């Protein structure tokens, strides 16, 4: 916390994180989920997983994966205050620079 950050700001950010985390857990609680993509960062290590049901619609599998990616791009763009196309372009560039999905944040190439 910097000297010019109000003491309640850290608590507020922590509360917001806990609220969002609880919301994520609620989203995962149910048997009616068709697809899920989850990514977490712990101590600088990135873990991610993707799963989907394809029994009823194997042709829609790629579209569901793309829809989840698009939703994540929009979320990141909103958090960063930029256009989704900017995030998508940066993500595509980053994806082209890595041979495998980074498992630690220090493995992400610099711009």
Q: pLDDT tens across 36-60, in order?
A: 888 888 888 878 888 888 887 778 8
- Name the one residue in this structure whose structure tokens are 């857990």: 25
Would residue 13 count as lying in a domain? no
pLDDT of 91 strictly over 70: yes
pLDDT value for 64 = 86
User: Does residue 85 form part of some domain?
Assistant: yes
Mean pLDDT value across residues 67-77: 93
Question: What's the structural domain count of the chain?
Answer: 1
**Is residue 10 pLDDT above 70, yes or no?**
no
Residue range of the domain that includes 89: 33-107
For the residues of 24-59, what is the DSSP string, one character each?
HHHHHSSS---EEEEEEEETTEEEEEEEE--SS-GG
Three-state DSSP class for residue 78: helix
Per-residue pLDDT band at 78 (split at 50, 70, 90) = very high
Whole-structure pTM value: 0.64
- Is residue 51 in some structural domain? yes
């Amino acid at each position: 916390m910097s000297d010019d950050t109000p003491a309640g700001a850290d608590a507020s950010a922590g509360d917001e994180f806990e609220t969002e985390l609880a919301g994520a857990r609620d989203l995962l609680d149910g048997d009616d989920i068709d697809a899920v993509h989850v990514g977490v960062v712990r101590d600088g290590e990135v873990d991610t997983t993707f799963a989907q049901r394809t029994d009823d619609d194997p042709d829609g599998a790629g579209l569901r994966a793309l829809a989840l990616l698009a939703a994540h791009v929009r979320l990141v763009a909103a958090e960063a205050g930029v256009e989704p196309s900017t995030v998508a372009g940066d993500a595509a560039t980053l994806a082209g620079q890595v041979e495998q999905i980074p498992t630690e944040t220090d493995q992400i190439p610099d711009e």
